[in-house]
Structure 1
Amino acid sequence: MDYLGKNIRKLGFGLMRLPIIEKEIDLAQTKEMVDLFMAKGSTYFDTAYGYINGKSEEAIKTALVDRYPRESFQLATKLPAWAAATAKDAKEMLHTSLRRTGAGYFDYYLMHNVSESRKKVFDDFGIWDYMLELKEKGLARHIGFSYHDKADLLDRILTEHPETEFVQLQINYADWESESVQSRQCYEVALNHNKPIIIMEPVKGGVLSNPADSVRKIFEEADPKASLASWAIRFAASLDNVITVLSGMSTSQQMKDNLSYMEDFRPLSLEEKAVIVRAREALRAIPSIPCTSCAYCVKGCPQQIHIPVFLDALNRNMIFGDLQGAKRTYQIALMLGSTKPSACIACGNCEDVCPQQIHIIDTLKDAAALSE
């Protein structure tokens, strides 16, 4: 199959979770990880303007750009226009990223997290045209965007902007049939628009490397020698039209494990795909809150509580035992403007419109108890 980036190795190095020592990036270990990665022929590195408060971009200059020929790797970063006060400030982010990385240009340059709530900023600031200008100037060789939203919006964006060369999507076996994440549906939209895909969150923030016992048992019985993370990453990498699968590695050991099965990548067999299906069914069997993120509850909330996000946080803890991830989700909701769940006044507006008939008032009390 012929598509952009088809010759790039299927394992990409995500630079959001670099090793940290006393609140600073461990540059020695980061260099070791870069060296291991490059030695095995993997060449795609993904960072962003805001990762680790900009220190990720600075670290990759030291660990990669200053130590390897520029044409020997691909470097991607992202522009979060929604974090800027003006269009001028947003466009200046590109030059800040170039200065931090010393890269000269970016092989893949992305608008960061184009979603329903943030799309207007990219439109109003003229970022779509700006991306084309950067490509014409050679500062961005390929342009696209990362995405965490519903499939119908993705279809609309790709219809409006056929100049998009690729999309970066959250895809993993746990979210494949999720009504809130819509991994499969978003993937199929990208295929329908003939857009190659970069996959992020293949291990769902790390939780699929340590899943529930019922899931672990399925994988270990199928192949006791394979790491649990390997099943998740190989699932993503086995999909068609995928440029690379980003793994946010934090240790040299994680790098070695990923390279052990991705150096000579072998797509999942039919038997292995059946194992993935059984694991997904085991996950779905774990009790959870049946929220589909339709957001009907949010529209009528007088306290402006972003209810589905807090229910997602509870599910993250219930299904995966990921308390820290649940608390991060909670904090992200507050950062994006939600009121705390403890502000609920039990008016019942949310429960009146919930298609899943969730007892939202009681559930918000659980969310408050979990993280406040």
Structure 2
Amino acid sequence: MKKLGFGLMRLPLIDEKSKEVNIEKFKELVDYYMSKGYNYFDTAHTYLNGNSEKSIKEVLVSRYPRDSFYLASKLPIFNLEKEEDMEKIFNEQLDRCGVKYFDYYMLHNLSTKHYQKCINFNAFNFIEKMKNEGKIKHIGISCHDSPDFLDEILEQHPEIEFVQLQINYLDWNDKIIQSKGIYEVSCKYNKPIIIMEGLKGGALANLPEKAKNIIQEYDRDNSIVSWSFRYNLSLNNILVILSGMNKMEDLIENINIFESFSPLNKNDYSMLNKVSKSITDDIEIKCTGCEYCINHCSQLIDIPKFFNLYNSQKLLDQSHSIGMYYRNYITKNNKKASDCIKCGKCIDYCPQKINIPKELEKVVKVFE
């Protein structure tokens, strides 16, 4: 398959509140995308209140031969209440999409927080059973968690054939998202990678002015967006790179970028490192991550990680994506920013003299 995948979480809508999809506009996008030889579609049970899966039946499945496209969906582990829910939801997804099988199927947003539920409900056994019955061609996971967690999963479950991960040049060295770390773990186990959030939810297409100027001074011929895609296309072991395309001009631009791709060179990487640094230098909470505060917090709150998430969200307005890390990874031990009792002990040990309890209130307001 070609490497530009159509992410179906952000489709053209008629109504934002009900998440009703604009079918005619969606048809135009799919028809153009397919006409250029691209054919990978990624949806999920929860996307657009279920309307993503429903609309793909009308726009794609009923209009194109089944063997002309690849369709991926996901099992919402976070919404399961009992083991029987898995088969019920899976059958509902097949019906919604109008297919007899999924080409790629994942445990959705597998994380430290939900892993015990996977074990209790035998979720890995379930998707493997569906594969053996011919209802899934390839089984995998999508994951917003640490490299250590991903390593544990891939070691314990060799049946997993691929992984879907958040990877982009800004998150490559991020202390929370750790794109580099999760990429390296996937390569260690030789698992093909589907990249999500390559544009960080669109944020890397709308950079702060200082970051944008660095790119444009370096090269005015290529678009801001092209650097994100070229960065990911330059990686090894990549199966497909997803993009949520709800406008024709965005779809056309993306296809042109993929068709004219050339790998990054040493100077290109250096430039993108400067872009990343210019973004992270403008953080709101001047935490250096020294962790002195943690040792003196009576609640054992992982303060630097919360500040890192908050800064990322404020810089690029990434509340949805960053919020997953807050819920699934950072608060895995049930220690949230709101657990702060405002004793103030942490302030005495902060080299930056940050008013930590006051800043944690900002984290609570954003994520809780």
TM score, norm. by length of structure 2: 0.87
1:238 paired to 2:231: no
What is residue 19 of structure 1 aligned with on the other side? 12
Shift of 1:159: 0.5
Q: Deviations over 1:159-178 (max 9, x none)?
A: 00011101111000000001
Q: 1-side partners of 2:195 and 2:76: how far apart?
A: 19
2:176/2:308 contact within 8 Å kept: no
Shift of 1:92: 1.8
2:29/2:251 contact within 8 Å kept: yes
1:281 paired to 2:259: no
What is residue 69 of structure 1 aligned with on the other side? 65
- Give the aligned length: 360
Q: Deviations over 1:159-207 (max 9, x none)?
A: 0001110111100000000111110011000001111100000111111
Map residues 293-332 of structure 1 onto 2, 5 A cutoff.
311-312=307-308, 314-320=310-316, 322=317, 325-326=318-319
Q: 2-side partners of 1:333 and 1:208: how far apart?
A: 21
2:150/2:185 contact within 8 Å kept: yes
Q: Deviations over 1:47-69 (max 9, x none)?
A: 11111111100111111111111
Q: 1-side partners of 2:54 and 2:161: how far apart?
A: 26
- Note the residue ranges of structure 2 that are not aligned, 5 or more in a row: none
1:306/1:333 contact within 8 Å kept: no
Shift of 1:269: 3.4
Shift of 1:281: 2.5
- Specify whether residues 66 and 308 from structure 1 end up closer, same or farther in structure 2 by C-alpha distance, changes over 3 A only: farther
Q: Deviations over 1:234-272 (max 9, x none)?
A: 211211000011111221221111111113433223432
Shift of 1:340: 8.7
One of 225, 228, 232 as aligned partner of 2:224: 228
What is residue 136 of structure 2 aligned with on the other side? 140
1:199 paired to 2:191: no
Shift of 1:359: 4.0
- Note the residue ranges of structure 1 that are not aligned, 5 or more in a row: 1-7
Aligned-residue CA RMSD (Å): 3.3
1:16/1:51 contact within 8 Å kept: yes
What is residue 253 of structure 1 aligned with on the other side? 249
* SS of structure 2 residue aligned to 1:188: helix
- Specify whether residues 156 and 12 from structure 1 end up closer, same or farther in structure 2 by C-alpha distance, changes over 3 A only: same
- Specify whether residues 171 and 327 from structure 1 end up closer, same or farther in structure 2 by C-alpha distance, changes over 3 A only: closer
Shift of 1:288: 4.5
One of 114, 118, 128 as aligned partner of 1:122: 118
2:138/2:161 contact within 8 Å kept: yes
What is residue 184 of structure 2 aligned with on the other side? 188
Q: Which amino acid aligns with 1:15?
A: L
Q: Which amino acid aligns with 2:68?
A: S
One of 75, 78, 83 as aligned partner of 2:74: 78
Q: 1-side partners of 2:79 and 2:288: how far apart?
A: 29
Q: Which amino acid aligns with 1:94?
A: F
1:56 paired to 2:49: no
One of 198, 203, 214 as aligned partner of 2:210: 214
Q: 2-side partners of 1:291 and 1:147: how far apart?
A: 27
- Specify whether residues 312 and 277 from structure 1 end up closer, same or farther in structure 2 by C-alpha distance, changes over 3 A only: closer
What is residue 266 of structure 1 aligned with on the other side? 262
Q: 2-side partners of 1:239 and 1:204: how far apart?
A: 17
1:309/1:330 contact within 8 Å kept: no
- Specify whether residues 339 and 157 from structure 1 end up closer, same or farther in structure 2 by C-alpha distance, changes over 3 A only: closer
Shift of 1:273: 2.6
Shift of 1:285: 2.4
* SS of structure 1 residue aligned to 2:165: strand
1:313/1:327 contact within 8 Å kept: no
One of 6, 10, 16 as aligned partner of 2:3: 10
Q: 2-side partners of 1:93 and 1:327: how far apart?
A: 24
Shift of 1:208: 0.6
What is residue 152 of structure 2 aligned with on the other side? 156
**How many percent of aligned residue pairs carry the same amino acid?**
40
Q: Which amino acid aligns with 2:224?
A: L
* SS of structure 2 residue aligned to 1:143: strand
- Specify whether residues 151 and 253 from structure 1 end up closer, same or farther in structure 2 by C-alpha distance, changes over 3 A only: same
1:363 paired to 2:359: yes
- Specify whether residues 327 and 272 from structure 1 end up closer, same or farther in structure 2 by C-alpha distance, changes over 3 A only: closer
Q: 2-side partners of 1:292 and 1:222: how far apart?
A: 31
What is residue 5 of structure 1 aligned with on the other side? none
